[in-house]
Amino acid sequence: MHETSPSLLERLRARPDSEAWWQLVELYSPLIYGWLRRHSLQHQDVEDLVQEVLRVVVRELPHFQYDPERGSFRSWLRAVTVHRLQAYWRSQQARPVAAGNSSLASMLEQLADPRSDLSRLWDQEHDRHVARRLLEMIQPEFEATTWQAFQRTALDGIKASLVAAELGLSVNAVFIAKSRVMRRLRQEAQGLIE
């Protein structure tokens, strides 16, 4: 297994490097893109907005500090996305009204409210997306049997005794494999998923 790295957010704040920025872009671009595509925006506008959101994240991330009272990274990212969408929408006000603007305004209001159903949906989708992408990123660090033991128990919900028999391992080895992958996932998810 590779040497354990600090969480992605800590790496970006302490010693930003191109690999860490690439990971952040790879991790979050699809999530932001998916959210923006839902709201009647043109493809090119969505791509531009994703870039704007990421530009703000790159510029402001060194100043981001997790504060339980103020919110998590996902809440901060949601706020950045809302602000970029609001700026976009304001810039569109000078143009003829396009279909979907009223639904966009409603969506922005809901997304800006951390207690709204839409914000809770953002949080849920964020956590699922980030966990899935992080699992894809860390999988190459593990031997196939270790990964299978983790996947079958943690993701598929199969009892450790059945997985042990299936893979020709002891039950203890299955628990150790699951624990190793979970520990690594928690390290990468630190600050990204609550």
CATH value at residue 161:
1.10.10
Same domain, 153 and 122: no
CA gap 55, 76 in Å, rounded: 14
CA gap 131, 74 in Å, rounded: 13
Please give the pLDDT value at position 67: 63
CA gap 21, 9 in Å, rounded: 10
In a domain, 149, yes or no: yes
Same domain, 116 and 155: no
CA gap 105, 100 in Å, rounded: 9
Per-residue pLDDT of the chain in tens (194 residues, 90 and over written 9):
333 345 777 778 777 788 888 888 888 999 999 888 887 778 899 999 999 999 998 888 888 776 656 668 888 888 899 899 888 888 877 654 444 455 667 777 887 888 888 888 888 888 899 899 999 999 999 999 999 999 999 999 999 999 999 999 999 999 999 999 999 999 888 877 76
Q: Which of 185, 173, 183, 184 is nearest to 148 (CA)?
A: 173
| Alpha helices, H only, the chain | 8-14, 18-37, 43-60, 73-93, 101-112, 117-138, 144-150, 160-167, 171-189
In a domain, 1, yes or no: no
Please give the pLDDT value at position 115: 86
Q: Which of 25, 60, 39, 42 is nearest to 137 (CA)?
A: 25
Same domain, 151 and 93: no
In a domain, 36, yes or no: yes
Same domain, 47 and 136: yes
Same domain, 124 and 187: no
Same domain, 81 and 168: no
Q: Which residues pair with 67 in a beta bridge?
A: 71
Same domain, 116 and 94: yes
In a domain, 3, yes or no: no
- pTM of the model as a whole: 0.73
Same domain, 116 and 159: no
In a domain, 68, yes or no: yes
Please give the pLDDT value at position 4: 33
Same domain, 172 and 96: no
176: domain range? 143-194
In a domain, 37, yes or no: yes
Please give the pLDDT value at position 98: 46
Same domain, 128 and 177: no
Please give the pLDDT value at position 73: 84
CA gap 142, 180 in Å, rounded: 9
In a domain, 12, yes or no: yes
Please give the pLDDT value at position 1: 30
- Helices 171-189 and 117-138, interaxial angle, to 10°? 120
In a domain, 2, yes or no: no
Same domain, 182 and 128: no
Domains held by the chain: number:
2
Please give the pLDDT value at position 94: 60
Please give the pLDDT value at position 5: 45
Residue 157 per-residue DSSP state: -
Question: Which residues, including other chains, have CB under 8 Å from residue 145's CB and lie 6 or more apart?
Answer: 167, 169, 177
